[in-house]
């Protein structure tokens, strides 16, 4: 009888494996575990924008770490998504600088336009809306991040236009 190959388990592509090797070169071999955060970021990009339990298990095995150690890091930092996110992951900064510049109006405009609440994903899977504490662009508040792109000096009208322009 032939052995079954599990095709549902995540595996790094050859390109991601090459990137992982570049990441490991940044750290002394005796401190390979220090590469965990960039490897998690790579895994999140590779596996659809989030870290399913299977992805965390894979990273743990890949890095020769206990799965709980990987989960501890992935669950501590908000830059790692432990549940599926939409094609467009919208992160609105609601920290003090953005809040003072009306980020709450930005959130309300997005909720109305997308017909979802913070923490939800649209039914078609296109948009996930979340609030984050700080994205480091306080001088140009209010701001948000869509996937890897920052958008600053926003108004409710600008964010609605921004959303409407996305393919």
71 shares its domain with 100: no
pLDDT digits (tens, 9 = 90+) for 68-85: 999 999 999 988 999 999
157 located within any domain: yes
115 within 8 A of 153, measured Cβ to Cβ: no
104 located within any domain: yes
30 shares its domain with 96: no
Radius of gyration over every alpha carbon of the chain, rounded to an integer in angstroms? 19
Is pTM, for the whole model, over 0.85?
no
Structural domain span for residue 61 = 14-76
pLDDT digits (tens, 9 = 90+) for 103-112: 999 999 999 9
127 strand-pairing partners: 88
Number of domains making up the chain: 2
93 shares its domain with 145: yes
108 shares its domain with 65: no
What crossing angle do the helices spanning 103-114 and 156-165 adopt, rounded to 10°?
Answer: 40
CATH number of 137's domain = 3.40.30.10
């Amino acid at each position: 009888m032939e052995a079954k190959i599990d095709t549902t388990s995540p595996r790094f592509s050859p390109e991601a494996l090459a990137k992982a090797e570049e990441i490991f070169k940044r750290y002394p071999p005796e401190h390979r575990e220090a590469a965990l955060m960039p490897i998690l970021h790579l895994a999140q990009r590779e596996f659809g924008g989030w870290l399913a339990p299977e992805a965390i298990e894979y990273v743990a095995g890949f890095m020769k770490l206990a799965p709980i150690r990987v989960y501890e890091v992935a669950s501590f930092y908000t830059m790692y998504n432990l549940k599926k996110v939409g094609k467009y992951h919208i992160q609105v900064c609601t920290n003090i600088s953005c809040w003072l510049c009306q980020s709450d109006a930005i959130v309300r405009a997005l909720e109305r336009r997308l017909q979802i609440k913070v923490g939800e994903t649209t039914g078609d899977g296109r948009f996930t809306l979340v609030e984050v504490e700080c994205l480091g662009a306080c001088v140009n508040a209010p701001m948000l991040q869509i996937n890897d792109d920052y958008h600053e000096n926003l108004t409710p009208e600008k964010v609605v236009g921004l959303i409407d322009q996305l393919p």
